[in-house]
Each structure stands twice: as structure tokens, then as C-alpha cells.
Chains A and B, each alone.
Chain A
Amino acid sequence: MTPAPVLGTGHGEERGGPTLAERIVRTGSSTSGPGQPHAPSGLDGRTRTTSTDRTPSSALSVDKLLLLTAAGYAPLGIVAGAAVFHAGLVGARLANAELVPLSQALLAAREQATARMRHHAAQLGAAGVVGARVEISAFEDQHHLARVVAFGTAVAPAMPADVETSSAVPFVAALTGRELGVLLDSGYEPVSLVMGVCVYHIARQRPRAWMRNLTTSGELGGYTAALYGARELAMRRLQDEALAAGGEGVVGVTTSETSHAWGSKAIEFFCMGTTIRKCSEPRLGQPATAISLRDLRTAADPAALHGRAARRYGGPLE
């Protein structure tokens, strides 16, 4: 008997690309209104079948599967959630100020997509979701409509007695299977994804100020205060979420700023991380020093040799 393949998502892994996202959106976006929608039937059926087989997949890379298994978990399949929302219009304003309704909408859409993914995982009987990602994009012909897709790999303890979990709700983590293993061994467990959003409107410079800035160099105090403050506000909201989720810390926080379809008038500051909390005594020994025998030059990723500087100190000016 040939078992149906279990799909996996992980960082830096080649996925099905747009086809997967499209499929999820097509099935997921038809659900609307409050509450938890039913998981898409096609997806559900596939993952259900495989979850009983417990057959290792080909789409999770070998080392990821190995380490996930070593951590006491087995993959159940992809889980996903989607939300479509209306981003509204940004009118011209004179002041630097937060656009509160947009901040709320962008956060709510992401939270809802994530909650649906978590619900989907719970239906499969998963202990949690690893490799979770939340992606936001506009529809090609309707820029004011944005879709949010959350997806990840649902995992369950291979031997239920192996893994002690202190929560009935599946955890959601933007961690790879390998990172999950290291985290559990160092005595922590993931709790949930936490996010913070602040959409900020940028005012134009006044003509006089613009003239003065043409020939002088210096800090733009007003702008600095505004954008610095917006960033802090987004981060503060992430912290509040983490505290509410009962976490002891947040790892892997990523920050981004995007203008979406608003042009240069508004910027969204977004940060996301994985909340963790202590669950057991650390089992991990002291790390040892090692020399990897892998030749960086043969690696598929040339960034390993040249990219660090470019990545750290700002990308090309485009």
C-alpha cells in the first residue's frame, strides 16, 4: 500500500509555492463571519488519512524529520487558516499619527487566520503546529482587499507518554522541528505566536522645512520620534500579547515594515515571535566546539559566503 504523502512546511524549504497558498485561500476564504469555520474538506480528508498511517514523508527534509522524531513528535500534515479583509483607504492628513482602525484590522486578520489554523490542528488531534508562517498579500485586481494565510505543520507526540505538555490547546510556533527539539531539551515549551501591529501615517514635509533640508544635514527630530515611537508601540503590543498568553519569554522576534497598497503615505510596523515558557528541567548538556566538514562553497546558498554583510547592513537601494 502506498500511503499518501504528508506535506511539511519548514523554514528555507521549497514548498508547493503559490499552488498551495492558492488552494488554501480558495478553500479558506469562502468561510466568513465570526467563529471557527470548518476546515476545508479536501485538505481535511487528506491529512486525516495520513494521520492514521503515521508514515514519514518526503516533503519534510530528512534531518528535519529525524530531529522532530528525536524530539518525540511526528508530523500529521499541513494545517492552514485564512482570512480576507478590507484594508480601507488612507486619506491625506497633515499630521504624523497612528491609523488605529488599520492597525486593528491588520492585527485582527492575522489573529483570525492563526486561530483558524490552530483550530484545524486541534481537529486533527495535534499537540501543536511548528514552522508556522503568516503571509499577507493583496489580490491582483483588488488592492484594497488583502488576504492573510497562516499555515504550518501539525505535530503530535509519537508516543503520547514521551512528551509532557501542560496545555490542552495546540501550541503554535514559528520554529522548525529541529528548533522545537532544542527548545524542549533546554526545558522550555512553545505557547503561541504573538504579534504586534502599528500602522502609521507619515505627513509631508512643509515647504519651508523641505527647502532648509536641501542643503543642511541633520536629524529629523519629528520623524524620528514618530517612527521610533510606532516601532516601540508595535513591540509593546507584542509584549502585552505574550504576557496575556502566559509566556515567560519571546524568541525569534522578526520585525518588518511594509507600505502594502498605501503608497508612501502609511507604513505598517509588524513584529511577530514565538512565546515560550518553562515546562521541565533542562536535559541539554554543555555544547561542544566542533568544526563542520561541510564546504560552504558547495552549499547551494551563496549567501553563506557573501550575504552576511549585505543582509546585516541594509539591502541594495531600490
Chain B
Amino acid sequence: MVNDRSGDAHAPSLSPEGLPPDARERLRELSGDSPGAGLFTSDLSVNEFMLIRACGFHPRGLVFGSSIFNVGISKRRWSKNQEMAAYTEAMYSARELAMERMVTEAELLGADGIVGVRLDITYYDWGRRSAEFIAIGTAVSATGDGEWRTSAGRPFTSDLSGQDFWTLLKMGYAPVGLVLGNCVYHVAHRSVKRTVSQVARSVESPSTTQALYEARELAMTRMQQDAVDVGAEGIVGVELVEKSHMFGSHVIEFLAVGTGVRARPEQPSIPEPQMIMSLDH
């Protein structure tokens, strides 16, 4: 039974790797007596389930991580392009916390990795300045030999679908970790004089261009650094998302997410693809 009596939002109820009691209980039921003997749960579609089994893995359980983060009001200059470092830090830490807890759950299951990781953000009506950061994925274990965990001995994470995971493995690569970089940036307001002078003209606004360009580059650079840190040789499936979240206008978060990959020692021959006409709708 979950029951938190303190209405105090800052009550230190969870350590970074702390899980609610129900999580431990749930995972204990899943792991069964021997690995692979118990029930598994997954958000995989049937095709993904089949493909993951076809490349020598089996699903272990759906794993979650969550962190509700409060973002306080931070100073900004009306007419200045600047990174909002406190916001960047908050948005990054919240995602890291959620992912850390998800990986801890996977470790409790004894899994080798997590596939199909989704990072969701949910806003609730009761807190205008807070949001829940959620990481969800399916923990998988390898049936055969081979080292699939990261160099730190932890399960790998990846946002690849079952189809992408299969293709990646067939090409002789393995996922290392979900890598991300972000940047929350305040885009300067234009001065009244400039707004008036440009009202009937179509021209580039160099300072705005500069701001968005720089913010995007910062997010990408941080993602690359993240990849280097986890020992990846490359990043696949990078997505660049820009959103204002709860910050209001002129403050934008740029988020770059991708899966860091490394080459496996054994390099298989890549099969020649066939051309097909899909009957899908």
C-alpha cells in the first residue's frame, strides 16, 4: 500500500536509486525462482517480441522510473540571449533520476539491458511549475553467452524499437546506453525600435537565429559528450526535440536523444536486403 502522509513535497522519501516498496515486490514476483522461469511483462508488440527472441534475447519485465521535479522561477534578462543553466540542470537531472531508477529495476530483475525506452513528461493540474519525468522500457536478458552489459557492469539502455534492435544486432553492433543532452535557452525579445523598423520587411533576425542555433549545438554537444562518457562508438536514431514545457514563451528546451552503440567483436556479414511491397496500411 502506497501511503504518504506528509503533504510536504520536499520530504526525502526516495533516494536516487530508491524504489517504492511495491516496485521491489513486483520485481520479486517477476524474477521467479530461476531466471526466465517466471512471468514476463512487456510493452512490446507481437512483432517486436518475436524479433527480440529471434536475436537471442527474452523479455523480463516492464520497468519504470519516475521523478517529479519542481522548476523554480529563475531570473532572465528581457533583451538577452542566454542559457538558463538552472533549468537545463533541473530538466537533465530529472530525466537522469528517472532513468537511474528504471535501470535499478532492470538490475533487480537481473536483466542485461532495456529496449524501447520512452521518456515521457506529464504535467498535472496541481502543480503548474512541476512535471513528472517518466522512463519506461522493457528489460531483456540474453539467452546465450556474450557480454551485453555496459563497461560499468550495468544493463544497457536504448530507445530502439524491437525492429531497430534486431537490425542493429544483425549488423554486428550492440547498444550501450541512451545518451542525451539538453539546453534550456532564453531567446531575447526584440527591442521596440527594431520591431517597428522591421514590421513591413521580411529579413532574417540574426540574434534569434544565433540563439536557436547555439542552443541546438549545445544540446548536441552535450549528447555527444554523454556518448563518449559511456564508451559508445556512435549514436543512432538521434531525435532533436524543442519544447517550451512550462517555461512560457521565449524559453525553449532543446533535447537531443539517441542510442549510443559499439561494435561487437564478431562482425557478421550483412545480408543483402530484399525489395518488398508492403501490404500495410
Contact = CB atoms under 8 A, between A and B. Distances in A.
Interface of A: 12, 61-63, 66, 94-98, 175, 179-180, 182-183, 186, 198, 200, 202-206, 209, 212-233, 235-236, 238-240, 242-243, 247-255, 257, 259, 263-264, 267, 273, 284, 286-294, 300, 308-310, 312-314, 316-317
A308 B26 contact: no
A222 B11 contact: yes
B10 A231 contact: no
A216 B51 contact: no
B69 A220 contact: yes
B46 A175 contact: yes
Contacts of A183: 46, 49-50
Given A217-B70, A222-B7, A239-B41, A294 B277 contact: yes
Contacts, number: 283
A288 B274 contact: yes
B239 interface: yes
A221 B101 CA distance: 13
Interface stretch (B196-204, B205-213, B241-249): B241-249
Contact of B43 (A66, A175, A254, A286): A254
Given A63-B279, A294-B277, 12 more contacts: A12-B281, A66-B279, A204-B7, A205-B127, A209-B9, A217-B70, A218-B69, A222-B11, A309-B241, A310-B241, A314-B119, A314-B122
B43 A287 contact: no
B192 interface: no
A202 B121 contact: no
B35 to A, nearest CB: 14
A264 B124 contact: yes
B109 interface: no
Interface string B53-76: 110000100101111111111100
Contacts of B278: 292-294
B39 A250 contact: yes
A209 B7 contact: yes
Interface stretch (B17-25, B145-153, B215-223, B225-233): B17-25
Contacts of B49: 183, 186, 251
A61 B22 CA distance: 43
A231 B44 CA distance: 18
A263 B126 CA distance: 10
A98 B20 CA distance: 14
The listed residue with most B CB atoms (<10 A of its CB), out of A219, A243, A250, A310, is A219
Interface of B: 1-14, 19-23, 25-26, 29-30, 39-47, 49-51, 53-54, 59, 62, 64-74, 86-87, 89-90, 93-94, 97, 101, 118-127, 129-130, 132, 136, 159, 166-167, 170, 239-241, 243-246, 255, 257, 271-281
Nearest to A257: B122
A267 B122 CA distance: 12
20 contacts: A12-B281, A186-B50, A202-B124, A209-B10, A217-B70, A217-B86, A220-B130, A223-B9, A228-B65, A229-B20, A229-B22, A229-B23, A232-B26, A243-B29, A253-B62, A267-B124, A290-B273, A292-B278, A312-B239, A317-B123
A213 B9 CA distance: 9
B26 A239 contact: yes
A213 B51 CA distance: 46
A66 B66 CA distance: 42
B7 A203 contact: yes
Nearest to B51: A287
A180 B49 CA distance: 12
B245 to A, nearest CB: 6
Contacts of B245: 317
A186 B59 CA distance: 15
A33 B54 CA distance: 47
B195 to A, nearest CB: 26
The listed residue with most A CB atoms (<10 A of its CB), out of B22, B274, B279, is B22
Contacts of B25: 236
B42 A225 contact: no
B30 A98 contact: no
Contacts of A228: 14, 19-20, 23, 64-67, 101
B271 A288 contact: yes
Contact of A182 (B50, B89, B118, B257): B50
Contact of A231 (B40, B64, B121): B64
